[in-house]
Amino acid sequence: MADAIHIRAILEQNPYDSEAKRKLIEIGSLDDLKWLYKQYPYSSEIKRALLNYEPKKNNSNHHSIKKYDVFISHATEDKQSFVEPLANALKEVGIKVWYDGFVLEWGDGLRDSIDRGLVNSKYGIVVFSKAYLNKKRKWTKHELDGLFAKEIEGKKVILPIWHNITREDLLQYSPAFADRLAKNSKFNSIKDIVMSVKKLVEKS
Protein backbone atom coordinates (compact mmCIF):
# COMPACT_ATOMS: atom_id res chain seq x y z
CA MET A 1 0.00 0.00 0.00
CA ALA A 2 1.02 3.63 -0.49
CA ASP A 3 2.73 5.94 1.97
CA ALA A 4 1.08 7.57 5.00
CA ILE A 5 0.02 10.75 3.13
CA HIS A 6 -1.77 8.66 0.51
CA ILE A 7 -3.44 6.51 3.17
CA ARG A 8 -4.73 9.61 4.96
CA ALA A 9 -6.29 10.73 1.68
CA ILE A 10 -7.94 7.30 1.29
CA LEU A 11 -9.41 7.51 4.80
CA GLU A 12 -10.68 11.03 4.24
CA GLN A 13 -12.61 9.67 1.25
CA ASN A 14 -13.68 6.46 2.98
CA PRO A 15 -13.47 6.49 6.82
CA TYR A 16 -14.70 2.87 6.89
CA ASP A 17 -11.68 1.47 5.04
CA SER A 18 -10.41 -0.75 7.85
CA GLU A 19 -7.41 -2.01 5.87
CA ALA A 20 -6.17 1.54 5.24
CA LYS A 21 -6.67 2.39 8.92
CA ARG A 22 -4.75 -0.72 10.02
CA LYS A 23 -1.89 0.09 7.65
CA LEU A 24 -1.62 3.69 8.87
CA ILE A 25 -1.47 2.46 12.47
CA GLU A 26 1.36 0.15 11.41
CA ILE A 27 3.51 2.62 9.43
CA GLY A 28 2.35 6.04 10.62
CA SER A 29 4.35 8.66 12.47
CA LEU A 30 3.26 10.16 15.80
CA ASP A 31 1.48 12.93 13.86
CA ASP A 32 -0.35 10.30 11.78
CA LEU A 33 -1.50 8.49 14.92
CA LYS A 34 -2.71 11.75 16.47
CA TRP A 35 -4.60 12.48 13.25
CA LEU A 36 -6.16 9.02 13.37
CA TYR A 37 -7.18 9.47 17.00
CA LYS A 38 -9.00 12.69 16.11
CA GLN A 39 -10.89 10.85 13.37
CA TYR A 40 -11.68 7.77 15.51
CA PRO A 41 -11.62 8.98 19.17
CA TYR A 42 -13.31 5.81 20.47
CA SER A 43 -10.89 3.32 18.91
CA SER A 44 -8.99 1.48 21.65
CA GLU A 45 -6.63 0.08 18.99
CA ILE A 46 -5.54 3.57 17.89
CA LYS A 47 -5.30 4.80 21.46
CA ARG A 48 -3.05 1.85 22.34
CA ALA A 49 -0.86 2.50 19.30
CA LEU A 50 -0.56 6.17 20.25
CA LEU A 51 0.37 5.43 23.86
CA ASN A 52 2.90 2.77 22.86
CA TYR A 53 4.39 4.73 19.98
CA GLU A 54 8.16 4.64 19.60
CA PRO A 55 10.04 6.63 16.93
CA LYS A 56 11.38 4.60 14.03
CA LYS A 57 14.99 3.60 14.77
CA ASN A 58 16.30 4.89 11.44
CA ASN A 59 15.04 8.41 12.10
CA SER A 60 18.16 10.19 13.33
CA ASN A 61 16.34 13.51 13.69
CA HIS A 62 14.47 12.37 16.76
CA HIS A 63 15.88 13.40 20.12
CA SER A 64 16.41 10.52 22.53
CA ILE A 65 13.22 9.81 24.44
CA LYS A 66 13.53 9.99 28.20
CA LYS A 67 12.04 7.07 30.10
CA TYR A 68 10.39 7.41 33.51
CA ASP A 69 9.64 4.99 36.32
CA VAL A 70 6.45 6.78 37.37
CA PHE A 71 4.06 9.40 36.03
CA ILE A 72 2.23 11.43 38.69
CA SER A 73 -1.35 12.36 37.83
CA HIS A 74 -2.84 14.88 40.23
CA ALA A 75 -5.03 17.94 40.65
CA THR A 76 -3.33 21.33 40.93
CA GLU A 77 -4.97 21.97 44.30
CA ASP A 78 -3.02 19.09 45.85
CA LYS A 79 0.45 20.17 44.70
CA GLN A 80 1.68 22.02 47.76
CA SER A 81 0.03 19.90 50.43
CA PHE A 82 1.01 16.46 49.14
CA VAL A 83 2.10 15.94 45.52
CA GLU A 84 5.24 18.06 45.37
CA PRO A 85 6.69 16.60 48.61
CA LEU A 86 5.94 13.13 47.22
CA ALA A 87 7.57 13.88 43.86
CA ASN A 88 10.69 15.28 45.58
CA ALA A 89 10.92 12.26 47.89
CA LEU A 90 10.68 9.85 44.95
CA LYS A 91 13.36 11.76 43.09
CA GLU A 92 15.68 11.72 46.12
CA VAL A 93 15.78 7.90 46.15
CA GLY A 94 16.65 7.73 42.45
CA ILE A 95 13.22 7.10 40.97
CA LYS A 96 12.75 8.77 37.56
CA VAL A 97 9.58 10.83 37.92
CA TRP A 98 7.39 12.53 35.32
CA TYR A 99 5.93 15.38 37.35
CA ASP A 100 4.84 18.57 35.61
CA GLY A 101 6.81 20.69 38.06
CA PHE A 102 10.00 18.87 37.01
CA VAL A 103 9.59 18.50 33.25
CA LEU A 104 7.38 21.28 31.86
CA GLU A 105 9.12 24.44 30.72
CA TRP A 106 7.89 27.78 29.47
CA GLY A 107 6.24 27.39 26.07
CA ASP A 108 5.91 23.58 26.17
CA GLY A 109 2.80 22.06 24.60
CA LEU A 110 0.87 20.61 27.54
CA ARG A 111 -0.90 17.77 25.72
CA ASP A 112 2.24 16.61 23.87
CA SER A 113 4.32 16.69 27.07
CA ILE A 114 1.69 14.74 29.00
CA ASP A 115 1.32 12.15 26.24
CA ARG A 116 5.09 11.61 26.08
CA GLY A 117 5.17 11.16 29.84
CA LEU A 118 2.29 8.67 29.76
CA VAL A 119 3.83 6.63 26.96
CA ASN A 120 7.29 6.52 28.50
CA SER A 121 6.42 5.71 32.13
CA LYS A 122 6.25 2.23 33.68
CA TYR A 123 3.68 3.19 36.31
CA GLY A 124 1.21 5.96 36.95
CA ILE A 125 0.66 7.25 40.48
CA VAL A 126 -2.87 8.69 40.60
CA VAL A 127 -3.59 10.97 43.54
CA PHE A 128 -7.36 10.69 43.91
CA SER A 129 -8.75 13.66 45.84
CA LYS A 130 -11.97 15.71 45.88
CA ALA A 131 -10.41 18.07 43.33
CA TYR A 132 -9.22 15.17 41.12
CA LEU A 133 -12.68 13.59 41.10
CA ASN A 134 -14.25 16.72 39.63
CA LYS A 135 -15.59 15.35 36.34
CA LYS A 136 -15.29 18.71 34.62
CA ARG A 137 -11.51 18.51 34.69
CA LYS A 138 -10.03 17.86 31.25
CA TRP A 139 -6.41 16.96 31.98
CA THR A 140 -6.87 14.59 34.89
CA LYS A 141 -9.42 12.62 32.85
CA HIS A 142 -7.05 12.56 29.87
CA GLU A 143 -4.20 11.26 32.05
CA LEU A 144 -6.35 8.63 33.75
CA ASP A 145 -7.75 7.42 30.42
CA GLY A 146 -4.20 7.15 29.07
CA LEU A 147 -2.98 5.14 32.05
CA PHE A 148 -6.06 2.90 31.93
CA ALA A 149 -5.41 2.21 28.23
CA LYS A 150 -1.93 0.98 29.13
CA GLU A 151 -3.52 -1.64 31.39
CA ILE A 152 -5.47 -3.23 28.54
CA GLU A 153 -2.72 -5.79 28.07
CA GLY A 154 -3.31 -6.99 31.64
CA LYS A 155 -0.27 -5.49 33.35
CA LYS A 156 -0.53 -3.32 36.44
CA VAL A 157 0.17 0.34 35.70
CA ILE A 158 -2.05 2.50 37.93
CA LEU A 159 -0.93 2.98 41.54
CA PRO A 160 -3.80 4.76 43.34
CA ILE A 161 -3.43 7.02 46.37
CA TRP A 162 -6.50 8.25 48.25
CA HIS A 163 -5.90 11.79 49.43
CA ASN A 164 -8.56 13.07 51.84
CA ILE A 165 -11.34 11.04 50.22
CA THR A 166 -13.43 8.00 51.17
CA ARG A 167 -14.33 4.86 49.26
CA GLU A 168 -17.82 6.30 48.77
CA ASP A 169 -16.33 9.37 47.05
CA LEU A 170 -14.47 7.12 44.63
CA LEU A 171 -17.49 4.87 44.04
CA GLN A 172 -19.43 7.85 42.74
CA TYR A 173 -16.60 8.69 40.34
CA SER A 174 -15.60 5.21 39.13
CA PRO A 175 -16.56 1.92 40.83
CA ALA A 176 -13.72 0.24 38.89
CA PHE A 177 -11.13 2.06 41.01
CA ALA A 178 -12.91 1.83 44.36
CA ASP A 179 -11.95 -1.82 44.85
CA ARG A 180 -8.27 -1.49 43.97
CA LEU A 181 -5.75 -1.81 46.76
CA ALA A 182 -4.63 1.77 47.34
CA LYS A 183 -2.37 3.81 49.57
CA ASN A 184 -4.07 6.39 51.75
CA SER A 185 -2.31 9.65 52.61
CA LYS A 186 -4.10 9.64 55.95
CA PHE A 187 -2.53 6.35 57.05
CA ASN A 188 0.55 5.94 54.81
CA SER A 189 3.40 8.38 55.13
CA ILE A 190 5.22 9.72 52.08
CA LYS A 191 8.23 7.65 53.15
CA ASP A 192 6.10 4.47 53.18
CA ILE A 193 4.71 5.26 49.73
CA VAL A 194 8.16 5.97 48.31
CA MET A 195 9.54 2.68 49.63
CA SER A 196 6.63 0.77 48.09
CA VAL A 197 7.18 2.45 44.72
CA LYS A 198 10.91 1.74 44.92
CA LYS A 199 10.24 -1.99 45.45
CA LEU A 200 7.91 -2.11 42.46
CA VAL A 201 10.35 -0.28 40.21
CA GLU A 202 13.23 -2.54 41.24
CA LYS A 203 11.16 -5.64 40.40
CA SER A 204 10.10 -4.37 36.98
Pairing of strands 121-128, 158-162: parallel
Cβ atoms within 10 A of the Cβ of 96, count?
A: 16
Residue 193 one-letter amino acid:
I
Under 8 Å between Cβ of 196 and 183:
yes
Is 19 a known active-site residue?
no
Instruction: Show Cβ contacts of residue 62 under 8 Å, excluding neighbours closer than 6 positions.
Output: 55
- Pick the closest to residue 144 from 159, 164, 131 (CA basis): 159
Among 143, 153, 168, 202, the active-site one is: 143
The residues assigned a catalytic role are 143
